[in-house]
A and B are shown apart, each in its own frame.
Chain A
Amino acid sequence: MEDKVIIKFDNVSFAYKADEGETVATGVVDGFSLNVPEGQFLAILGHNGCGKSTVAKLMNGILVPDSGTVTVDGMDTSDDEKVIDVRKTVGMVFQNPDNQIVATIVEDDVAFGPENLGVAPEEIRKRVDDALKAVGMYEFRGREPHRLSGGQKQRVAIAGVIAMNTKCVVMDEPTAMLDPQGRQEVMDTIRMLNKERGITVILITHYMDEAVKADRVVVMDKGEIVLDNEPRKVFKNVEKLKNLGLDVPQATELAYRLKQAGFPIADDILDEKECAAAILKVLEVK
């Protein structure tokens, strides 16, 4: 059976306008087409200014295309009447945890989305408790957000999206401002969303070790897709990724370098375990 497509970009172009009506060079999206099947964990990679954040904002109608169409669960995002339904379907988590929390108490913030949707009070309470438990922040429900760590704030933001019962979450570099521990917390939460709740996740990032965990990786450059495949096949293109100003995981790079030097090792290595196993295989044979 064909997977149901939840977000569909059809030949989408978009450019930011400066004050004088000129277009700005960064963040342009040009002739962009993409299908995101329901339940997928998709990572979008690219350097700053390649248009990946623009794509994120096009996904729930924060931006609407100059030409082409973005369809969310069958709804055109440029249809003004559907805007709330689109955002009910596709939630969003941003980079700066401070600038997306609206309430002075954690649980009130999680309740914000459902309140806006006019959900009944008892139902909101249920959703808020459930969402906070899911991200492991239930004990913090009565706290003030400004006393939380960055990772905890992002988890509250994610809970806010869960409480809206969205089918899909777009995360725009949610870990860029976090320390390694916070990044780990957020990545674990994202995986849980996808695996346990079946929520479609679109993760915009430039951390390769995060993209490795996705089902599919799309690499963008100058507003276009340059690579689109499962992580293993994408990261094989070490040279190409480096030329695009991107990293590959160290294990992948090590294998690549060894192979370049004539060392007979597989070139589709993703993590330290695979890398060590491959090296052992070669060295022990001798």
Chain B
Amino acid sequence: MIKDITIGQYFNGNSLLHRLDARMKIILTVIFIVSIFLCQNFWSLGLMLLFTLVTVTISRVPLKMVFKSIKPIAIIVVFTSLLNIFYIKGGTPVVDWKFIHITSNGLFTALFMALRIICLVVVSSMLTYTTTPTMLTDAIEKLLSPLKVFKVPVSTLAMMMTLALRFIPTLVDEIDRITNAQKARGANLDDGNFMQRIKALVPIIVPLFVSSIRRAIELADAMDCRCYTGGPGRTRMKQMKFCLRDFATLFVMVLFVAGIVVLNMYFGAVLVK
């Protein structure tokens, strides 16, 4: 049943990663993404892979779910690899047959890019697997709060995100109901060509639109009644506090970045200029 969906892809658990402060997790993820692109040889690449595997292991998220997050990007990985293999020149030729010229640089770049993209997706999905959408929203709000100086309505944006998350299941449920109601009147949603199918959606989209507007108006009144002004002076029940484990993890991350830099310097770049 469509109604049972879980918003986002949070995986309930109590691992170290789950308990980390959401702000710290976002910061760490950003540092990791940057460091991914620092790797220049197989040693630093290996360290990156090791780090990714360790992260997955301590998160206790089942491997099956991790693979699920890689699946949608598989095509992109294959495609960029092929492009790299055939179009990057330099280094020693590996295959030189008629119009096909493959060089070592091409192969290495393809391998590097593929591994980088996979690690990037796996680690970012660790963030969303171990953090509830609510916590993420709060963390983003906190991290962006310095932008308030530049008159960016950070709190309002965060409130909008929360409301969007809150109403996704409600609207999914509503689509389900309207679809059934129109099907009961003989609406044919499954057959026909592209244009016919688009046309068949009108009886669903119009009522959905009408009811969403009605909901928005009622919600606005309800928020007014509960003294929401969108202005300053709002406090939060759940305070975010960095604790020891957050700083310890940050320290590990710094070590990791330092490791990558050292390995790069010591072994040099694998690509030939």
A and B touching (Cβ–Cβ under 8 A): yes
A residues adjacent to B (C-beta < 8 A): 57, 60, 62, 84, 87-88, 91-92, 94, 96, 98-105, 107-108, 111-121, 124-125, 128, 144-146, 160-161, 164
Q: What chain A residues lie within 8 Å of B218 (beta carbons)?
A: 94, 96, 99-100
- How many residues does chain B have at the interface if contact means C-beta atoms less than 8 Å apart? 32
Whether A145 pairs with B166 at a CB distance below 8 angstroms is: yes
**A-B CB pair tally, cutoff 8 Å:** 99
Q: Contact at A112–B226, with CB atoms within 8 Å?
A: yes
From A98, A101, A119, A146, B235 is in contact (CB under 8 Å) with: A119
Q: Contacting B224 at CB < 8 Å: which of A62, A99, A103, A160?
A: A62
Interchain CA distance A160-B225 in the complex, whole Å:
11
25 pairs of residues in contact across A and B, judged by CB atoms under 8 Å: A62-B224, A62-B225, A87-B224, A87-B227, A91-B225, A92-B225, A94-B218, A94-B222, A99-B218, A101-B166, A102-B226, A103-B134, A103-B162, A105-B132, A111-B238, A113-B227, A115-B235, A118-B233, A118-B235, A120-B235, A121-B235, A124-B237, A144-B169, A146-B170, A160-B226
Q: Is the CB of B234 within 8 A of A115?
A: yes
A115–B227 Cα gap in the complex (Å)?
A: 9
With A116-B227, A146-B169, A146-B170 already in contact, the answer to whether A99 and B237 are too (CB < 8 A) is no
B24 within 8 A of A: no
The answer to whether A87 and B225 have CB atoms under 8 Å apart is yes
Give the contacting residue for B215; candidates A98, A111, A125, A161; CB below 8 A: A98
CA distance A114 to B238 in the complex (A): 12
Chain B's nearest CB lies how many Å from the CB of A282?
50
Alpha-carbon distance A84/B162, docked complex (angstroms): 23
When A118-B233, A145-B166 are in contact, do A108 and B227 touch as well, CB less than 8 Å?
A: no
In the bound complex, how far is the Cα of B226 from the Cα of A60, in angstroms?
11
Contact between chains at B169 and A118 (CB < 8 Å): no
- B219, A102: Cβ atoms under 8 Å? yes
